[in-house]
Amino acid sequence: MTGIHRSLWLLPLVLLAPGCRRGDSTYYDPATGRKMTRIVLQTDWYAEAEHGGFYQAVAKGYYRDVGLDVTIDQGGPMIPIGLKTAIGVVQFAITRADESIVAVSRGIPYVIVGAMMQHDPQALLLHESNPVNTFRDLSGKTVMTVPGSKWVLYIQKVYNVRFSIIPLNFGMAQFMADPNFIQQCFVTNEPYYVEKNGGHPKTIMISSTGFDPYRVIEGNADFVATHPRETRAFVEASMRGWRDYLYGDPTPANREISRLNIQMKPDFLAYALRTMKRYRLVEGDPAKGEALGLVTRKRLQEQIDALQTIGALDHVVTPDDVADFKDMPAP
């Protein structure tokens, strides 16, 4: 379905056995004689345009160009993304910076190595006729979202507004049936379905509240520490894939995404790509010092401060506790 419930990787699941660890082995390519390192990237949802740069890097051979044999594991509502990363079943995963920061404050061995998106696509989805136009207008309303979402805690405290929460059911039926219904969405995703079914949606970006986490590539801390060359090569090749997906021909990635996820039709993929570019989600705004893949200490500190405001951190952390800046793409 859609990307709005990706933080559910924290669901309690049975711990994967250490023997399941994989992906950090090396071998020599018999065709070229070149030494290759196997890497597994865990995505936060089923294959979709929001992962396009990674699929492009695989399809165009950008990872192999730097000696990496990369496999992409799809996410989903019951995939323990954080757990798989923490114990080294996968080397890298996609998540939000706020999730990584909270995990590190709890002693979980993650480290951010780059930004997949400068700004998170999460938004509120409303009908165009709905009088709610700002987050302050939510006072007394009901919103369908993931209970305990950090953005909810943040705006209720900072904006001093109170609204009711109903658990996200991963569907669109209630929204389509009720012109006053409000639910969390990905700006790249649910509005497309509303328009396709004759509706007139509008969105309010959650990032406009000041709660504005990166979407990041996080790595297993041990792997990043012991494989600096591979980490740097992975991030650089991923950013090369994203550049090509955004501004080149996205067909190679889209072909693979559609093969893996039959819901990803050409017009939907085009809509998502167009929306990512419209909102500058991936590369950000250069006038604000944002750039493809870049994570800065200043913005990470702002995200840490926001999480401290709502009491989400078990222990105080610094940007250098949660990110590996030496392997970060240059601005």
Kindly state whether residue 199 falls inside one of the protein's structural domains: yes
Tally of CB atoms within 10 A around 107: 8
Query: HSE (CB half, 13 Å, CA atoms) of 194?
Result: 26
Q: What pLDDT sits at residue 29?
A: 85
Q: What pLDDT sits at residue 331?
A: 60
CA dist 265 → 91, 198, 250 (Å): 30, 18, 13
Query: Is 328 strand, coil or helix?
Result: coil
Tally of CB atoms within 10 A around 121: 24
Residues 180 and 310 placed together within one structural domain of the fold: no
Kindly state whether residue 165 falls inside one of the protein's structural domains: yes
Kindly state whether residue 1 falls inside one of the protein's structural domains: no
CA-angle at 222, arms to 239 and 235, nearest 5°: 5
Q: What pLDDT sits at residue 50?
A: 97
- CA nearest neighbour of 322 among 306, 302, 300, 307: 300
Kindly state whether residue 81 falls inside one of the protein's structural domains: yes
Query: Is 17 strand, coil or helix?
Result: coil
Query: How many structural domains does the chain have?
Result: 2
DSSP letter, residue 154: H
Residues 113 and 232 placed together within one structural domain of the fold: yes
Residues 315 and 226 placed together within one structural domain of the fold: yes
Residues 202 and 217 placed together within one structural domain of the fold: no
DSSP letter, residue 230: H
Residues 27 and 42 placed together within one structural domain of the fold: yes
Kindly state whether residue 265 falls inside one of the protein's structural domains: yes
Residues 52 and 106 placed together within one structural domain of the fold: yes
The span from the first CA to the last CA of the chain, in angstroms, equals 34
Radius of gyration of the chain (CA): 19
Placement of tokens 């009088």 in the chain: 131
How far is residue 204's CA from residue 226's CA, in Å, rounded to a whole number?
Answer: 42
Residues 292 and 150 placed together within one structural domain of the fold: no
Residues 22 and 87 placed together within one structural domain of the fold: yes
Q: Which domain, by its residues, includes 252?
A: 6-118+213-327
CA dist 204 → 183, 186, 201 (Å): 11, 10, 10
Say if pTM beats, i.e. exceeds, 0.95: no
Final residue belonging to a domain, choices 187, 209, 231: 209
Q: What pLDDT sits at residue 19?
A: 37
Walk along the chain (331 residues) and give the pLDDT tens digit of each residue: 444 334 333 333 333 433 344 444 888 888 888 899 999 999 999 999 999 999 999 999 999 999 999 999 999 888 888 889 999 999 999 999 999 999 999 999 999 999 999 999 999 999 999 999 999 999 999 999 988 899 999 999 999 999 999 998 878 999 999 999 999 999 999 999 999 999 999 999 999 999 999 999 999 999 999 999 999 999 999 999 999 999 999 999 999 999 999 999 999 999 999 999 999 999 999 999 999 999 999 999 999 999 999 999 999 999 999 999 986 766 6
The continuous run of DSSP H or E covering 66 comes out as none
Kindly state whether residue 52 falls inside one of the protein's structural domains: yes
The domain that holds 187 is classified in CATH as 3.40.190.10
Kindly state whether residue 174 falls inside one of the protein's structural domains: yes
The continuous run of DSSP H or E covering 126 comes out as strand 122-127
DSSP 131-149: S--SGGGGTT-EEEE-TT-
Kindly state whether residue 141 falls inside one of the protein's structural domains: yes
- Contact between 71 and 42 (Cβ < 8 Å): no
CB-neighbour burial class of residue 310 (10 A; exposed 0-12, middle 13-18, buried 19+)? middle
Residues 175 and 229 placed together within one structural domain of the fold: no
Pairing relationship of beta strands 92-96 and 68-73 according to DSSP bridges:
unpaired
Residues 138 and 86 placed together within one structural domain of the fold: no
Residues 201 and 262 placed together within one structural domain of the fold: no
Final residue belonging to a domain, choices 209, 225, 241: 209
CA dist 183 → 2, 50, 127 (Å): 12, 20, 10
Residues 196 and 91 placed together within one structural domain of the fold: no
Final residue belonging to a domain, choices 175, 209, 243: 209
